[in-house]
Chains A and B, each alone.
Chain A
Amino acid sequence: MDITDQLNISRRGFLKLTAVSATVAATPPLVARAAVPDVARAPVTQQVAMEVNGKPATLSLDTRTTLLDALREHMHLTGTKKGCDHGQCGACTVLVDGRRINSCLTLAVMHEGSKVTTIEGLGTPDALHPLQAAFIKHDGYQCGYCTPGQICSAVGVLDEIRRDVPSHVTADIGAKATFSTAELRERMSGNICRCGAYSNIVEAITEVQEGRA
């Protein structure tokens, strides 16, 4: 990739952008004009190979494609949800190399060699993961749209506690991390459920944790 050329384009785009902005400032107050760059760049594509739910996947992707859209639009793994595309809701949570991340906040091409686990990789309707079964038993969902993210996040949370990763509510970060509803609620707070199933979700995750203990 020719970085110099890219920078030149960016600079040109920037100059045009500032020119438009200047026009805005000079126009009468009742006329507003949106500032847009007069540039239409050809997409840059790149090949990326990762392992998704235990299977190798090689994709040729627009470098702007998020991991979330790679999963949903290119691999048709639509269990991972797009709730906000801005890292604000947690519906897109997946496990990358064992750790939970918002897949909307990371570009797919950054994940060469990554091992990605999505909700489809945890269990199926006929062979549910213990957390999936517990969510059903405790009615830890309603519309179901945040649910895959909640479950993937819960897998990550239980592992974080096992790995002794402290949280905001951990009283003594020198002591061993322990499971509690306060810890669970704090660690799960990046996953919004607008239907408000939180009380049941906490009970579902707690049951799985206690079954393990």
Chain B
Amino acid sequence: MKFDTPATTNPIDRLKVIGQPHDRIDGPLKTTGTAHYAYERHDAVPNHVYGYIVPATIAKGRVVNIDTATARRAPGVLAIVTAKEAGPLTKGQYNTAKLLGGPEVQHYHQALAVVVAETFEEARAAAGLVRVDYARSPGAFDLAAAKGRAVKPEDGQPDTAVGDFAGAFASAPVTLDAMYTTPDQSHAMMEPHATIAAWEGDKLTLWTANQMIHWGKGDVAKTLGLPPDNVRLVSPYIGGGFGGKLFVRADAILAALGAKAAGRPVAVALPRPVMFNNTTHRPATIQRIRIGATPDGKITAIGHESWSGDLPGGGPETAVQQTRLLYAGANRMTATRLATLDLPEGNAMRAPGEASGLMALEIAMDEMAEKLKLDPVDFRVRNDTQEDPEKPGRRFSQRNFVQCMRKGAEQFGWSKRSATPGKMRDGAWLVGMGVASAFRNNLVMKSGARVRLGTDGRATVETDMTDIGTGSYTIIAQTAAEMLGLPLSQVSVVLGDSSFPVSSGSGGQWGGNSSTAGVYAACVKLREAIAGALGMDAASAVFDDGKVSAGGRSVPIAEAAKSGEIVAEDSMEYGDLEKTFQQSTFGAHFVEVAVHAATGEIRVRRMLAVCAAGRILNPKSARSQVIGAMTMGVGAALMEDLYVDKRLGFFVNHDLAGYEVPVHADIPHQEVIFLDEADPVSSPMKAKGVGELGLCGVAAAIANAVYNATGVRVRDYPVTLDKLLDRLPTV
């Protein structure tokens, strides 16, 4: 099915099941420990053995020698695979660095070998007996030092320009020109990257934790030199991803190689302290923002430049993205530059681009509002635009950004905020409020599904879509239930198997809308087949309450399948509506913080997000997406910082004790409001993404609240108390 004209009325609009705050259908399994994640498939793979990674302990250079002799003699050891034993491997399409290094070492903790043994303890002990001799090469590990050598990235649009930015900025009555930095961050999802691999002849099955099954299947095949049809990925439950599991990682390749060498199925999980340097991370940025405005607060010039680094062949953090679309202004420029760094591979983490870009831009907007003596909400509202600022006449499909700001301000009690920083006290605490805009584009991806109507009248949906905590199981079931007129309890959903139709996968906040649109397409086809089987006109047949009705007849849906299961499969593909319209999601984040007047300790007291993101398919799970993103935003604002050893080239704090993420004590009760929207330009679901929107802007809202509390402006994340202490108001 092709979606190339805006949606009209369809069965989804009934909103009997979809759009309702149903509990997750996978809840009873997840809360009882009976949902089996990748490393836990004793049911599917009895008697597997264990592989343990040997990671590189230099950042760049060469392996001179790997001595595995002692390890091979260790008790229980079945096989050891290094690059030498593995033979030629091809780098995956989506990988920047090789997943099995040697002799060349491209980054710290790059995998150099897998040791396979009968037990986990034996594999781990033997891995410690592998002796590696290196020749270390000098590398570049410091973004600030490499910034001057940064170049235009090959892909994307490194430079954009509209009007005369330089002239308009020079002549603007009120201007801001400031530098901001964001640190390297880690996904740090709770489930480590893990895979169990089993070979049957030359066919390989991987029970693995992966967000994008089809990409993963392709890259496993490419890496190992197999025909894609010989590779099957199974990933029904995934313990978080946030972009860290978009791509095939070392666990999958090491398990496959280890299983081949040992002649047994092998389970490999990346040890937590190896994950931070072995896998991908959100790259650090240095950003320069210039804004020029008239005294009444109309932006006349806006410029955003960003520098980030990556391994050779890698890409930039596209931190300027939102600045091309978020605010009006006739004269604009952006520039993206990429430095070569020999740190671990930088890649997508939740809301890549916007998350980092808004951390800077939304502080800049706060600073500019202060210069203009305008309320920060009012300043943003004054610079709303209903069309693409780079392409006048190209409208947003829907843009209720101003409503988000106004609704949020009213709900949050924004009018109680003191415009002068450092004026609100609560005992020993300085209290402040901050606001920031949320913005993230809505992407649509081709997505397919197969839907079966069983002889018992139950529907089963099969798609290689994944649920990484996003609620895919539930919204897919709700979609099928709505389309077929069945109660939710009559629908089963099976996900994450590469033998199912190819879906959008989970990434870029496209999964919810795209995967359900694919299920919609398959259900349209199934409805036609059901109507045909019942001798009814498909176009006029109504599916409701377990029955199909047309031409005065009404029969139970199960009747259609009484002589055998009916199966339909289809995909939703997209035309060029995304060219005609700019599709984006919008929001406003409001935060109240308290900063201890003596110690500088920062506490987040209240958080509110107002989101305009099309139809909300399940308000309960969508709200969870947003509060989870707000929580990650607290981490970005106040604590998350992969600390770079600039001499040896690695992230020092590579575990969950050193890389601090928010815990219960850091997070207050959180409020989320969704505007009542349905965007017919996005898909027949009229939904858009929300899982990344919730993160965009949060950190800046917190930084702005800290400024409002203390009068101390921090432009280098994270905002930690050491950056406040010497500038706090006198106690």
- List A residues at the B interface (Cβ < 8 Å): 30-34, 36-43, 62, 64-65, 69, 72-73, 76-86, 88-89, 91, 118-120, 122-126, 128, 132-133, 135-137, 139, 141-148, 151, 181, 184-186, 188-203
Contact = CB atoms under 8 A, between A and B. Distances in A.
Given A143-B239, A202-B669, 12 more contacts: A40-B71, A76-B42, A79-B32, A89-B656, A136-B24, A142-B625, A144-B469, A147-B31, A191-B663, A194-B188, A194-B242, A199-B631
B131 A185 contact: no
Given A37-B129, A89-B190, A139-B623, A184 B31 contact: no
A204 B37 CA distance: 24
Contacts of A200: 624, 627
Given A32-B57, A62-B121, A143-B240, A196 B272 contact: no
Interface string B661-674: 11111011110000
A191 B666 CA distance: 12
B28 A136 contact: yes
Contacts of B191: 81, 83, 143, 145
A136 B23 contact: yes
B34 A120 contact: yes
B245 to A, nearest CB: 10
B53 interface: no
Nearest to A121: B33
A86 B276 CA distance: 15
Given A139-B620, A184-B664, A82 B70 contact: no
B628 interface: yes
B655 A43 contact: no
A88 B30 contact: no
B40 interface: yes
A124 B397 CA distance: 46
A40 to B, nearest CB: 4
15 contacts: A30-B61, A31-B136, A34-B131, A43-B122, A78-B36, A81-B239, A88-B656, A89-B272, A119-B32, A136-B28, A139-B23, A141-B31, A144-B35, A148-B31, A197-B627
B119 interface: yes
B621 A123 contact: no
Contacts of B630: 196
Interface in B34-70: 34-37, 39-40, 42, 57-58, 61, 64, 70
A194 B70 contact: no
Nearest to A28: B135
B128 interface: yes
Contacts of A123: 31-32
Interface-central residue, B74, B130, B629, B663, by most chain A CB under 10 Å: B663
B32 A142 contact: no
B522 to A, nearest CB: 26
B546 to A, nearest CB: 24
Contacts of A81: 37, 190-191, 239
Contacts of B629: 196
Contacts of A141: 27, 30-31, 469
A189 B242 contact: no
A192 B660 CA distance: 10
Q: Would you call the interface of chain A mostly helix, strand, loop, or mixed?
A: loop
A117 B654 CA distance: 31
B190 A193 contact: yes
A185 B667 contact: yes
Going nearest first, the 7 A-B pairs with the smallest beta carbon separation are A79-B33, A196-B631, A145-B239, A143-B469, A144-B30, A142-B469, A196-B628
A62 B33 contact: no
Contacts of B669: 181, 199, 202-203
B729 interface: no
Contacts of B631: 196, 198-199
Contact of A82 (B188, B192, B240): B192
Contacts of B71: 40
A196 B609 CA distance: 15
A202 B664 contact: yes
Contacts of A78: 33, 36-37, 39-40, 42
Interface string B269-288: 10111000000000000000
B129 A40 contact: yes
B145 interface: no
Contact of B190 (A83, A120, A139): A83
Contacts of A84: 192, 272, 655-656
A88 B30 CA distance: 21
Contacts of A199: 627, 631, 667-670
Contacts of B239: 81, 83, 143-146
B274 to A, nearest CB: 11
Contacts of A145: 37, 189-191, 239-240
Interface in B611-670: 620-621, 623-625, 627-632, 655-657, 661-665, 667-670
B104 interface: no
A40 B126 contact: yes
Interface string B107-129: 00000000000011110011011
A200 B621 CA distance: 11
A206 to B, nearest CB: 10
Contacts of B665: 185-186, 189
B269 A82 contact: yes
Contacts of B559: none
B24 A139 contact: yes
A192 B470 CA distance: 18
Contacts of A37: 128-129
A88 B269 CA distance: 17
B565 to A, nearest CB: 26
B539 interface: no
A137 B187 CA distance: 27
B11 interface: no
Contacts of A82: 39, 192, 269
Contacts of A193: 190
A79 B188 contact: no
B134 interface: yes
Contacts of B135: 30-31
A96 to B, nearest CB: 16
Nearest to A77: B33
A120 B624 CA distance: 25
Nearest to A151: B31
A33 B133 contact: yes
A43 B121 contact: yes
B189 A143 contact: yes
A137 B23 contact: yes
Contact of B136 (A30, A83, A120, A184): A30
Contacts of A33: 131-134
A139 B471 CA distance: 10
Nearest to A184: B664
A128 B408 CA distance: 38
Given A139-B620, A145-B239, A185-B665, A32 B136 contact: yes
A119 B624 contact: no
B104 to A, nearest CB: 15
B346 to A, nearest CB: 19
A122 to B, nearest CB: 8
A89 B631 CA distance: 16
Contacts of A197: 624, 627-628
B238 A64 contact: no
B388 to A, nearest CB: 32
Contact of B28 (A128, A151, A195): A128
B75 interface: yes
A119 B30 CA distance: 10
Contacts of A189: 663-665
B468 interface: yes
A36 B128 contact: yes
A211 B23 CA distance: 20
Contacts of A83: 190-192, 239, 272, 656
A88 B189 CA distance: 13
Nearest to B670: A199
B75 A143 contact: no
A191 B665 CA distance: 10
